[in-house]
Amino acid sequence: MSFDRLGLSAALLRAVADQKYTQPTPVQTQAIPVVLQGKDLLAGAQTGTGKTAGFTLPMLQLINERVQGQSRRHIRGLVLTPTRELAAQVGESIRTYGKHLSLRSSIIFGGVNINPQIRALRAGIDILVATPGRLLDHVGQGTIDLSKVEILVLDEADRMLDMGFIHDIKRVLALLPPKRQNLLFSATFSDEIKNLADRLLNSPVHIEAARKNTAAEQVEQVMHPVDRERKKDLLSKLITEGEWRQVLVFTRTKHGANRLSQQLERDGIRSSAIHGNKSQSARTHALADFKNGKVRVLVATDIAARGLDIDKLPHVVNFELPNVAEDYVHRIGRTGRAGRDGCAISLVCVDELKLLRDIERLLRTSIPKVMMPGFEPDPSIAPEPIPNGRNRALFQKDRRPANRHSPAPRRDDRRDRNNDRKKASGSRNGQSRRRDSESSPSSGSRRRSSGSSRHSAFSDF
C-alpha cells in the first residue's frame, strides 16, 4: 500500500514525498485511516515503527480542515510527551509534514526560559507539543487556554506513567473539553496503561503493530560477558577495532555517564554525555554533534531511551543493563528503525545476571552470548549489589551537577526540578510503578539487586 491510498490530502502527500518516503509502515497503515475517521485510538507500537507520523499526519489534516475560514487561532491539537527530547522530535515531525499547510505549532518543555514560550502562545497556535510539568506551569500562570482542544495525543504513555506523571495527566484532562478525540500510543501495555485507556478512551480502535514488549526484528542482539572493571576497556576495543563511527551507549546513572565519556576521550574516542543534569542547550548541542558526526559516541542515561530519533544509527551498547527489563526494549529501539538493520550489544558482568534473566524472560528468548578473547570473566569475582532505592544513600554523589562551578539554575529550571521531586515522591507513595532511572538508579520491588544471589552466579555464563 502507498501513502496516497490512506486518504491524506495532496499537501501532506507532497510533504511525505519530500522526505523520500513511499510506503507507509504497518502502524501508519493501521492508524492513519482510524484517526481520519475521528475515532479514538489505542495503539501498541515500538519505537522506530513510524508511529509519530502515524498520528501527526492525520492530526494535521483534520485540524487544517477545521480551521479553514477562521481568523483566530486556538490550540486544537495537544500532544503530551514524557521527555524534552521526544517533544522536540514530535514537534519537528509536525513542522516537516505540515510545511505546505498554514497551521502553526509550538513546543514547550522545562529547562529553558519560559518567556519565549509565552510569546509563542500569545501569538496563537493550532497544535501544541508539551511535557506535562511545563504545560501545568503555563496553566498556573494563565498563559494558556486548553478549552478548544479537539484532539489529544498521549505519546509514550507508558513512559509518562513510569515517570510519575499520572497526577499531572489527570490535571490536564480536567482542563480539556469533554468532547474530543483521544489517541494513546504506548510501547508496552501494563495494568496502569489499561486503566488509563479505560478512563480516557471512548470505544477505541485497538491496533498493535508488533507483539508487545518485544525488540524490533531488524535489531541483531548479542551479549558479551565481562568483568565489571574491564567493561570500559572492552567497549573501547569494540569501537576502535570495529571502526564504529556512531554509537549510542547507555549507563544507569548520570555520574557513570560522565565518567565513561571522559574515559573514552582519554582513549582517543570523541564522545559526549547526555543526561538530566545537563542543561537543555548542552543536551541539544551534544545530540547535534552526534548526529552530524563530530562526536563518535553519545553516552546517555535512560532519559534518552525514548525520543531520540537518529537516522540510520548502527550501534547501541548497554554498558550497564537497565534495572527494569522493559527499558532494554526501549534502549535498543534506537537502532533498527524504519525497517533498517541495527546491532545492540550488551556488556554483562556477574552483578547483572538477574537483570539479564529478567530481560530474556520478557523477550521470551535468549540473547546470544559471545565471549571476547582476552576478556573472559574471572569466576572468582563475587557479585556485588546493584544500587536501588534501598541503598541509594551510597550513591548521593551521582545527584550532584556534573559541573560544580556552573551558574545557579534559572527560576524555571528550579521549578522543573521541584516538579520532578514531587513526581518522584508520588512514585514512592505507590502512585507509579517506578521513577525514571535517570533520577534514581532504581526503585520499586522489581528493581532488586541482581547480586543478591551469591551461589556461584558466574556459572550461568
Instruction: Pinpoint the alpha helices (H) of 182-302.
Output: 191-200, 231-241, 254-266, 280-291
- Asked which of 153, 181, 208 is the last residue of a domain, the reply is 208
Work out the average pLDDT over 403-418: 43
Spatial distance between the Cα atoms of 172 and 335, rounded to a whole number of angstroms: 33
- Asked which of 177, 208, 239 is the last residue of a domain, the reply is 208
Work out the average pLDDT over 297-308: 77
Does an H or E element contain 34, and which?
Answer: helix 26-36
74 in a structural domain: yes
Predicted confidence (pLDDT) at residue 275 exceeds the cutoff of 60: yes
Q: What is the pLDDT of residue 188?
A: 74
Q: What is the pLDDT of residue 187?
A: 77
Predicted confidence (pLDDT) at residue 277 exceeds the cutoff of 90: no
How many domains does the structure of the chain reveal? 2
* Model pTM score: 0.66
76 and 129 share a domain?
Answer: yes
Q: What is the pLDDT of residue 208?
A: 84
334 in a structural domain: yes
Predicted confidence (pLDDT) at residue 450 exceeds the cutoff of 80: no
188 and 260 share a domain?
Answer: no
Q: Are 105 and 123 in contact (CB under 8 A)?
A: no
Between 386 and 375, residue with greater pLDDT:
375
Work out the average pLDDT over 447-457: 40
Q: What is the pLDDT of residue 264?
A: 96
User: Taking all residues of the chain, what is their mean pLDDT, rounded to a whole number?
Assistant: 83
Q: What is the pLDDT of residue 62?
A: 97
Among 24-33, 163-172, 306-315, where is mean pLDDT lowest? 306-315
Spatial distance between the Cα atoms of 303 and 82, rounded to a whole number of angstroms: 9
Confidence class for position 460, pLDDT limits 50, 70, 90: low
Sign of CA dihedral 60, 65, 71, 77: negative
Predicted confidence (pLDDT) at residue 443 exceeds the cutoff of 50: no
Residue type, 458: F
Q: What is the pLDDT of residue 325?
A: 87
241 and 335 share a domain?
Answer: yes
Phi, psi of 432, rounded to the nearest 5 degrees: -135, 155
197 and 54 share a domain?
Answer: yes
Segment 77-95, tens digit of pLDDT: 999 999 888 899 899 999 9
213 in a structural domain: no
Predicted confidence (pLDDT) at residue 437 exceeds the cutoff of 80: no
Q: What is the pLDDT of residue 74?
A: 95
Among 40-54, 264-278, 299-313, where is mean pLDDT lowest? 299-313
Segment 310-339, tens digit of pLDDT: 778 899 999 999 998 888 888 888 887 656
Predicted confidence (pLDDT) at residue 105 exceeds the cutoff of 90: yes
Helix (H, G, I), strand (E, B) or coil at 121: helix
Predicted confidence (pLDDT) at residue 15 exceeds the cutoff of 90: yes
Work out the average pLDDT over 245-273: 94
Q: What is the pLDDT of residue 424?
A: 46
Q: What is the pLDDT of residue 284?
A: 83
Work out the average pLDDT over 130-159: 95
228 and 365 share a domain?
Answer: yes
Report for 62-66, 208-212, 272-276, 395-399: range of highest mean pLDDT: 62-66
Q: What is the pLDDT of residue 336?
A: 75
Spatial distance between the Cα atoms of 445 and 461, rounded to a whole number of angstroms: 25
- Percentage of residues in the chain with pLDDT exceeding 70? 79
Closest by CA to 367, choosing from 461, 249, 233, 241, is: 461
Predicted confidence (pLDDT) at residue 451 exceeds the cutoff of 90: no
CATH number at residue 200: 3.40.50.300
230 and 189 share a domain?
Answer: no
Q: Are 164 and 426 in contact (CB under 8 A)?
A: yes
192 and 229 share a domain?
Answer: no
223 and 316 share a domain?
Answer: yes
Segment 193-226, tens digit of pLDDT: 888 899 899 999 999 875 555 555 678 999 999 9
62 and 18 share a domain?
Answer: yes
332 in a structural domain: yes
75 and 150 share a domain?
Answer: yes
Work out the average pLDDT over 171-186: 95
Phi, psi of 245, rounded to the nearest 5 degrees: -100, -20
Phi, psi of 205, rounded to the nearest 5 degrees: -85, 130
39 and 183 share a domain?
Answer: yes
Predicted confidence (pLDDT) at residue 446 exceeds the cutoff of 50: no
Work out the average pLDDT over 42-59: 87
Q: Are 30 and 209 in contact (CB under 8 A)?
A: yes
367 in a structural domain: yes
- Asked which of 208, 234, 251 is the last residue of a domain, the reply is 208
404 in a structural domain: no
Q: What is the pLDDT of residue 164?
A: 85
Report for 106-115, 310-319, 435-444: range of highest mean pLDDT: 106-115
Spatial strand order of the sheet with 247-250 comes to 219-225, 342-348, 315-318, 247-250, 297-300, 271-274
Predicted confidence (pLDDT) at residue 357 exceeds the cutoff of 50: yes
Work out the average pLDDT over 64-85: 91
232 and 177 share a domain?
Answer: no
423 in a structural domain: no
Q: What is the pLDDT of residue 48?
A: 67
Can you give the length of the chain in residues? 461
Spatial distance between the Cα atoms of 174 and 256, rounded to a whole number of angstroms: 40
Q: What is the pLDDT of residue 388?
A: 63
Predicted confidence (pLDDT) at residue 433 exceeds the cutoff of 80: no
68 in a structural domain: yes
Closest by CA to 436, choosing from 108, 183, 83, is: 83
Q: Which residue range forms the structural domain that includes residue 29?
A: 3-208
Residues 6+ positions from 17 with CB-CB distance below 8 Å: none
Phi, psi of 300, rounded to the nearest 5 degrees: -135, 155
Q: What is the pLDDT of residue 312?
A: 80
Q: Are 161 and 190 in contact (CB under 8 A)?
A: yes
CA distances to 33, 182, 250, 269, 313 from 319, in Å: 41, 38, 6, 16, 17
